A and B are shown apart, each in its own frame.
Chain A
Amino acid sequence: MTQAGPEDLLAIADAACRAAMRAGADFADASVERGRSMSVAVEKNALKSSDTRGWASISVRAFSAGATGWASVSGTGLVAARGAGRKAAELARAAESDPGFVDLVHPAAYPDVAGLFDPRLVEVTAVEVAGWITGNIDGARGVVDDALVTGTARASWWEWALANNLGVAVTQPGTSATVNLQVVIRRGDDVGSYHEWDAARSLAQFAPGAVGPAAATEALRYLDSRRMKTGTLPVVFGPSAAAAFLQGVCAAASAEEVQRNRSFLVGKKEARIAAECLTLVDDPLIAGGLSSAVSDGDGFPHVRVPLVKEGVLQTYLHNHYTANKSGERNTGHSTRGGIACTNIIPSLGVRTASQIIAEVTDGVYVALAQPHPDTASGQMSALVDAGFRIKNGQLTYPLKNTMIAGLAPELLLGLDAISSDYRAEPGRVLPTLRLQGVRVASGEGA
């Protein structure tokens, strides 16, 4: 809705920084973002609503003797930008100096990362977005007549610019397209359901038409779910559950959490944290990657970062502040207020997911779950949202009311297989993992 272009956004960010510096800040940076999204929601197989959203905001950080003040405001106007800059500087003076703060990111060349902006997604119409999801209703019902489809399709476009008082000036336009669907199948009191999605940064990589049929096919498999006996068993994480687990582990590698002594990975740099089969690379430079970008939130140029090599933690995830504080190399993981991984790429194993499952005599397969370990304690305790009992190498029956638990440091050492096949999403490689010695709790059953 706002008419500023990317260069204008940079000028606005620069004006905010200058205002902060004039107001007494030692350092300042400012980000400006504007964007628009269009979404269509489906409820019970019928289109429910069509929405379009526009946003525009300025966020300024000012530093005074290392103390941080920040201010954010709506809009992309120069007056608002300057006001936010002055406010951030004023607030920084109210905080206390931080001896760990050195400076902000210095200007540097940025990498080329292709495929993050698709002009066709800026021009996409609501009718086209509606087609992404209504086609999936037919697709799901082609699999199961009485499938109930609920979900959303969305196209988004945004421009982001960041400047700091040291001369950093970076802009990043972006686009994305997503479809998220939940399919429910009822047979009396019995319910089978599944969640599927597709996401991409460009239309060329977007293939939403398979989402509905896939969700319906999976939902059918989850009818007649049962409990199982409580025990300690091998657990196979399917691609989605595995990705959630690994993301949780990477969150504990945040240097902010480590430096504040809030992580189970404190003191583990260059130490073994997982079985030898685990190698992870964080790669924000993948063309069209869902979490790809040319820079992090501080304006530091993104780089490919080996995170875990054959089970050994190679580095913590840093932003400019934590890297300076510890005297380590900046890995470029600032989210401007936090630290987060980008595209996590595990090295693949030599056996397929089917072969890994076939080796399990008695265990559990977890398709969907939120098995994030607690960053401080490493404790993981999660509900199996969708999963199967494995018996004699076969998925036998779907599970209900079943939980899995363990300590992340032990679970990572108990990791004994990563599949050679994987679910591919833009910038993401999602293989299957197998963990030994996971505590499985349920009601009764076999």
Chain B
Amino acid sequence: MGDAFAAEVYAHRADLLRIAWLQLRDEHLAADVVQETFLAALKSGQSFAGKSKLKTWLVGILKFKIVDALRSRARDPIAISHMEKEVDAQDMNALFDEQGLWRSRPRGWDDPAFVAGQQDFLRIIDLCLEKLPPNTARVFILRELFEMEREEICDVASISPNHLGVLLYRARMSLRRCVEINWLTAAS
């Protein structure tokens, strides 16, 4: 395998490490799964026309490595009791009034003018993902980046479909608020 390909693969290390860390919350484990991903990639010797195609492929391999790592940790009772706390929907009450109506009207951060900076968007999402409770961030990434189906996520995370629905809802609501707040800071 050529060094050039290895360098191309390696260029994505920071991004993959970040995702692995958000999933596993352990630097060593994260470094391990990324390393395994690179070894698998280099061994297969596939070639890619574009940067983003290579990255898509790498993320696909990483997904399997992470799912394996999560499965082997699924018996950890601490992880599960931790997760139950996250379902507590206290902070939803800050968003809705007693009738279940929005308390305030969120600003339109998805306006074209706002979304102009893709780099900013990524930076802000990254920041906001870290602020989420770990399991909430975890299922959001499994769903949105790895595009796993509900059944598969429930299986890997050992949660019920309803629980998953709550976590994804909370992830989206929190990210939405967090992005809104940070766009305003970034824009000023």
A and B: bona fide binding partners: no
- Taking beta carbons and an 8 Å cutoff, which residues of B are in contact with A? none
